[in-house]
Structure formats: structure tokens, C-alpha cells
Structure 1
Amino acid sequence: MKKHTLISFLLVLVTASLLFGAGVQEQAEAQAPQTVLEFWTWRPEDVDFYAKQIALFEAANPTIKVVQTAHKNTEYNTILSASLSGGAGPDVFQGRAYGGLATFADSGFLEPLEAWMPELKNYSATAVLGATSPTDGKVYGSPAVSQTVFMYYNKDMYKEMGLSIPKTWAELIANFEAAKKAGYIPLGNGAKDGWCLETMVGGMGPSLYGGTAFFNDVVAGKKNFQDPAFIAMVEQMKSLTKYMPDMYMGISYEDMRSNFFNELSPHLIAGSYEAAYFKTQNPELNFDIFAVPGPKATDPAYVSVYADMNFAMNAKSKNKDAAVKFLKFLSSKEFGKAMVTDLKMVTSVPGVDATSDPFIARVLELQKNATPYLFLVGFRYQQPTGSSLWQAAAQGVMAGTLTPAQAAKQVQDGIASYYKPFQK
């Protein structure tokens, strides 16, 4: 009996030891130190999308935790700059493109990525251009998406009013008149936020001022913003105020979007980034898109296209190895496909088939007449930027305090203060 008792006692000790060891191991795993990455975006409307993607990343990388913070887009640059200037800020974040990226890169805030991410060599030259600083030629972002600016229209309202997609500027105005007669706000755009007027000219301007030919000429200094075609385009933009909401100078970005997804207006000039948001706000909304036409049906109907977003790394991040893992995830085909299917955006990630989504397929169709987004692509590298000059001048035009010719001169003089091709 004593022998059996001893054996039983030993078995109990061994079992207890194994259970204790397993418990210690589980506790150690549970308490294993995690690398915490701070990730910032400027799109609060996409928080749920990124939360879902972050969960996928964390499942595959259990030692890394990603904390997402979304700031309002109009406040993002100021908050990000202040944080990075203080030596803090996020590890990984949505970065702007072109001059917006160059400003942060030239300030030493961004980590050059080519050594960390050799796969960047597979991206298109157009996408990489938006992630490259012209100062040193280094790539400081992983290109995420491009955006296209055009006209959204409500298909059900068009059917109700017996309208078709306009092929000339005169036909577009006739559609506005029909919408006004039917009791709708013909064009949902407003002028409270200056950047929305840059979007507006991106959507309705190129087919009137001459598209890519004008862009190339003005960048080369062969033409300038006092060109008659550009001034005539501004005059046409001003003429649209009679179709915009009452007190349009007080209509904000959020008001504009609400006008469209609440079906108060059949038209909105906006970017491709709005599509997923519209469907979230009104799942029954039946909309499509078209390129604003020029004076003649034979004129190219242009859409403005630009590299919108790069995923960047803080040069002072203390977690660069983990940050690169997250950047590579954000640059994967799986993530790029999710951007297409969930956010209805044109991904910059190579090798992603975007045509399976009907909306993106339509965007790509319109891009056959793509032209660079004028002030963003060409004149946002030095101060005062072309964008800031245009936004202020455009608000003056829409409010009636500046004539189109005065606005054009204001933009021209501001850019000419530093842009050598305009100083000849």
C-alpha cells in the first residue's frame, strides 16, 4: 500500500508540475511584450475599414498591436506637422502626395523607404512620382490610391426627368435647368471650404481650359493662368452658382455630400473617394458618374487624376522593423483588393485586378481621358502653393468680390513669385 501511495503521490506531483508549467507558459505568452504602432489617417469615415484590416494584420503578427487614430481631413496636416515637429507622432501614417509629401520629407520627418521596401520598384512611375521628393529624388511613401474627379449623377432622378448623360456643356446646362424646374437643387456643390472649389475646377474645368495640353504648356511656362481659355473656364464656373444651393457660400463639404446622398440634388462634382461613403449613408442610392463635357461633342471630356495618398513611416519611429511589416501589409495585393472592393478606390498596388468592381471599372473607363489635377500635381511644391492661391481666388469669384480675370491674375502673380518659367 505504501508503494502504491508513493507512486500516486509522485504522479500527482508530476501532473501538477506539468499543469503549473503550462499555466506559466500561457501566462508568459499572454504577457509577452507587444510592439505598439501608432497609425494615423485623415479619413474618419474609413475607421471601420481600417479596424478590420488591422485585425487581419494583428492575427498574422501577434507581437504587434496597431492603434488607429483618425483626424478630420482639414485639420490633419496641422496636427501631424505639430506632432512630428515635437519629435513624436505616429509610426505609420497616411501621407499626402506631390508637394504635400515633399514638405514633410524635406523637413526630415519621413523615412526613405526604398531600402526597406524593394518592392516599390514594381509600382508605376506615375504612382511613385507622387511619393517622391523632387529635392533628393528619394521615395518617402508607399503609393496607396489614385483619385479621379468627375460628376456624380442620380440615375433615378435622371430617369424621372427623362435626362441622358450630356455630351456638350450646353446639354449639361439644360440638365441643370430641368432639375431646377423639377424642384431639385441642380448642383449640390458649395463654396464654404476652399479646397472644395479646387475639386470643383478639377471636375468641370479641364474640358473647358484644354486639359493636358494646357497643363503641359502652363507647367513649361508657354502659357500662364491669365490665358483666355483659363479665364473663360472661371467665368463658366461662376455661372454655375445659379444652380447651386441657396446661400452656397455657406455650404460646407459635409453639406455638399448630404445634398447628394439625401437625393436633394441629382449632381455633385466630387472625387472617386466619395462612392463608398455615399453607399454607407444611403444604400438605396442609385448613382453613376460622367466626365463633364466641353463645348462640342467632339471635344475630349477630361477627368482630373492624381496620386492621393501614400503610406509613410516616421523617421523618428522607435519601432521601424514593426512599422515596415505594417507598411508591407498596407502594400500587399490583399489590402489593395480590399481598397477596391470595400472603399471603391483605385489602388496603386501593382497586380490588383480592379475591374471586377463595376464602379471602379467605370472610373477606369473615364480615365481614358485623364489629365493631371492642375494645381495639386503641378504647383503644390513651393509657397504660396497653387492650391492655396486658387482656393482663395475661387472663393472671391464665387462670392462676387473678384472677377475671373482678377482671380486669374492673383493666382498667376502668386506662383510667379517663385516659379522660374513664369519669370521669363
Structure 2
Amino acid sequence: MNSTKRNHTMKRRNFNALLAATATSLLGLGLTGCGPSSGSSGKGSDTFIIWDYESDDSAMGQAWARAVEIFKEKHPEVTVKIEDQTFEQLQKNAKIVLTGDDVPDIMEYNKGNSTAGQLASQGLIEPLTEQATERGWDTKLAASLQTTARYTEDGLMGDGDWYGVPNYGEYVFVYYNQDMFNAAGLSVPTTLKEFEAVCDAFVAAGQVPLAEAGSEYPMGQLWYQLILAHADRSFVDAYQLFKSDVNWTSGPVKQGTDKLVEWIGKGYIAADSAGLTAEDAGTAFINGSFPMFVSGSWWFGRIVSDMAKTNWDQFLFPGANLFPGSSGNLWVVPANAKNKELAYDFIDITLSEEVQAILGEKGGLPVAGDPATIKDDKTRTMTDNFAQINEKDGLAFYPDWPVAGFYDQITSAMQSLINGSKSGEQVLADLKAAYEEGKAEIVVED
């Protein structure tokens, strides 16, 4: 998900929360605009139709523009037609549109059980396992990136056939104001204990260390990151993919929650942050009101431009081997697409060295690129850190992904912790109830 077409709240309100949100008036989704050339899966057409929702000046938009040029060079007999959609249009209308004949040949779509998984389970998008093997996509993408590409026959993410292919990624790390660190005589921490020592030093100087937001995703992601600092891949598989039961009274969830409660009590997080938005937190960091901001790569371009006169940098959350993050959106091929082979060729091109290099240079986090080719130091650092995470299978997705409506449950829980209206134990009891109820609706026991 990128932030160029929608606000940060929508960016992190996952596929489940988006589908659960109150429906608003929708624009048409190209029901009459594709023309007969985009019809059923019969003979091929000389018009290749792409649907995406990235802005032209985004990293993805610029990289994919080059991919289209390469595609045209390879297939000069084909006319390429790019039709801009919006995230919300495809999120709400894809199931309806893809049952008809007027479909694109390839489209950008969101990953997850209730989005790509649902389309896969309904037979609306083409299985890509054979192509992934023959074309080497399965060797280019790290295991945690492949998780979002694969779905069971019931539409559950993480297993079964490939139904989509990502070509960029996103993850959460720590942005920090180096001027404020230097003024306080502090260095970048490399362990969780050192991170707490840095926070203690700022608090002692009367400075709240972390820019936070309780009414949107940042606080929930910090909670999850603290859980991940005590977790391993088996926990992620249990929490995200339901491969085993999650323990809500001990282990990583309890340890991470206890640590967050401790941090709130020690003043690492401002008391008024319960009502703040992601925009509030990000802007406060950009303006120099806080020395650190734990958030995602989707803020990178904004911070680069808005903090051009400030000495800032980034580091991975210390003391963890797992991090909130995932692949970006997927390329999917509608089952009724007319030019499936051309769609596979286009996916190949977006994973090519040249296109991935453009993604990397523009800060788009390539999934198969070489960070060493990136000229800008900060962009190279962000991309290199992402590559290192992928090499260690370190992406752990996002805390609200497992069940429908969990984003709102987590947000409410974080606000309760910040304002002290509930204890950690009470919050975990509430979250466990919501999680287990949602899981029961998804997983049918044999």
C-alpha cells in the first residue's frame, strides 16, 4: 500500500478493516470504459490493459512507467492501455467487476484474506504457481514476501497456490532526529536496553522521546514491535496464519504488552497522544518536537522532503529479529483476462534488474534489487535494511491483519493503555476475545 493516493490511516487500515468500514458513495470502476478488447479469456487481443492506483510521481509509478516502455519494446504489435483506478474503487468493486467480461489483463490489488484471498477462493483471479516456478519468481522473493502471494482454496493467506506477485515492499523502523541526539550526547542504540537508556536520558532532560498516535496505527505498531522483540517465526505463524494457538496470558504478547505499559508509565509516550492521529505524530517528529518516530517506510519520502534542513537518520528497532512489514500490493491476473501470457511477461519486467533499480533509487523498496546500486545514502540504508530483513525472513506483517475489525480493537486498546483506563491484563483479555471470535469465523475445525 502506498500513501500517495490515500491518507496514512487508510494505508494501515488493513483489508479487513477497510471492508468493514461504512460504505460511501462509489465512483464507477470502468464498467463501460474498457471496451470489447478487454473481454473474456478467449483469443488474445492486441490491446493490453493495466489497472493500477499509483500516482505517476511515486516510486512505483515511475518504475512501472519504465516497465511499460520495456513491454512495448518487447511487444511492438500490442497497444498498452493504462487505466487509473483508486484503492477504494478496487477494494469495494473488484468482486463485481471481475465476474464480467470487461476486465483488465493485469491489475494491482491488495494482499490478504479478505482481498486477494477472497478473489482467489471465488475463482476470479488466475493461479500463478506454474508461472512462479517457470519464471523464477519463487526464487526472487523472500519467504515472508511469498506469504502474501499464496492462498489456500478457502482464501487463507500463506499457503496454497500463488495468486499474486509483489514487486516492492514496506516495513517499520525508527526515524530519529540526529541533531537532538547530538545535543543530548546520545548514540544510536543497538539493543533494547540501550534504546530504553536513550529514552530515559531524554525523559530526564524533560523531553518525551517518542512521537506517538493512539487514535490510529502508530501505537498499535509499536505494541506489535515490542511483542516481536520477544517472538520468533512460530509466533508469527500462530498469530497471523493460525497455525497454532496464541497465548494471550504469557509469552511474547504478555511480555510486549507489559513492556509498553512500563514505557507509558516512564513517560516515553506523551499522555495526550491517545487522541492523536498518525499525521499528528509524523508532523510532530518532522517539526522537531520529538527525537524519535517508530513508523513505516511510507513516511520516508515525506521526511526526506520536509526535513531537508534537519540532520535525521534511521535505524532498525533494536533487539528484534522480526519487524512489522510485508510485501507491497500484488499484481493479479483476472481469470477472464484475454492476454494472460502478456500479463506474465509484464510481471517479469517489473521484477527485472532495471525496473527494480528504479524502485530502489526512488525509495520504493524493491524486492529483487541490489541496494548497492542506490546513490542516495539514506535511501540505500533503508533499502539495505529491508534486504537484510528479507534475507533473515524477518517480515512479520501487521498486528491488525489476522481477523476482521481487529484494527479498531487494537486502536481502542492502545488508547486505554495510554490514558490508564485499563490495565495490560484487561486490554489483553479484550483483544483475545475479539481475536478468537474473528478466528472462529475464518477457521473451520475439522
- TM score, norm. by length of structure 2: 0.69
Structure 1: runs of 5 or more not aligned: 1-32, 295-299
2:51 to 39, 45, 56: 39
Distance 1:167 1:55 in 2: 39
Question: Which amino acid counterpart does residue 354 of structure 1 have in structure 2?
Answer: P
Question: Which amino acid counterpart does residue 157 of structure 1 have in structure 2?
Answer: M
1:111 to 109, 119, 126: 126
Q: Percent identity?
A: 19
Question: Which amino acid counterpart does residue 274 of structure 2 have in structure 1?
Answer: M
Distance 1:125 1:302 in 2: 14
SS at match of 2:151: coil
The 5 A counterparts of 1:247-396 are 247-293=272-318, 302-317=322-337, 320=340, 323-345=343-365, 347-349=366-368, 352-357=369-374, 358-359=380-381, 360-365=383-388, 371-373=394-396, 380=401, 383-384=403-404, 389-396=409-416
Do the aligned partners of 1:190 and 1:245 also contact (CA within 8 Å) in 2?
no
* Structure 1 pair 262–306 and aligned structure 2 pair: CA distance change class (3 A): same
SS at match of 1:149: strand
Do the aligned partners of 1:224 and 1:422 also contact (CA within 8 Å) in 2?
no
CA shift at 1:174, angstroms? Answer: 3.7
2:220 to 198, 204, 229: 198
Distance 2:65 2:238 in 1: 48
Distance 1:421 1:59 in 2: 44
Q: Residue by residue, what CA displacement relative to the aligned partner does 1:121-159 show, whole Å, maximum 9, x if unpaired?
A: 433461322201122622111122333323221222211
1:97 to 100, 111, 133: 111
Q: Does 1:148 align with 2:171?
A: yes
Q: Does 1:135 align with 2:150?
A: no
Do the aligned partners of 1:203 and 1:270 also contact (CA within 8 Å) in 2?
no
Do the aligned partners of 2:225 and 2:323 also contact (CA within 8 Å) in 1?
yes
* Structure 1 pair 228–131 and aligned structure 2 pair: CA distance change class (3 A): closer
* Structure 1 pair 181–369 and aligned structure 2 pair: CA distance change class (3 A): farther
Higher alpha-carbon Rg:
1
Partner of 1:79: 89
- Of 222-231 and 158-167, deviating more is 222-231
CA shift at 1:223, angstroms? Answer: 5.0
Distance 2:372 2:178 in 1: 21
In the alignment of these two chains, the number of paired residues is 371
Q: Residue by residue, what CA displacement relative to the aligned partner does 1:84-129 show, whole Å, maximum 9, x if unpaired?
A: 1331686544333343531332244433234566423433461322
Structure showing the higher helix proportion among its residues: 1
Partner of 2:16: none
Distance 2:335 2:404 in 1: 26
Distance 2:66 2:250 in 1: 52
Q: Residue by residue, what CA displacement relative to the aligned partner does 1:199-227 show, whole Å, maximum 9, x if unpaired?
A: 222433322x3344644676554651222
1:66 to 67, 78, 82: 82
- TM score, norm. by length of structure 1: 0.72
Partner of 2:9: none
Q: Residue by residue, what CA displacement relative to the aligned partner does 1:159-207 show, whole Å, maximum 9, x if unpaired?
A: 12110123454543342344356565521121121x3333222433322
Distance 2:357 2:150 in 1: 24
* Structure 1 pair 389–105 and aligned structure 2 pair: CA distance change class (3 A): farther
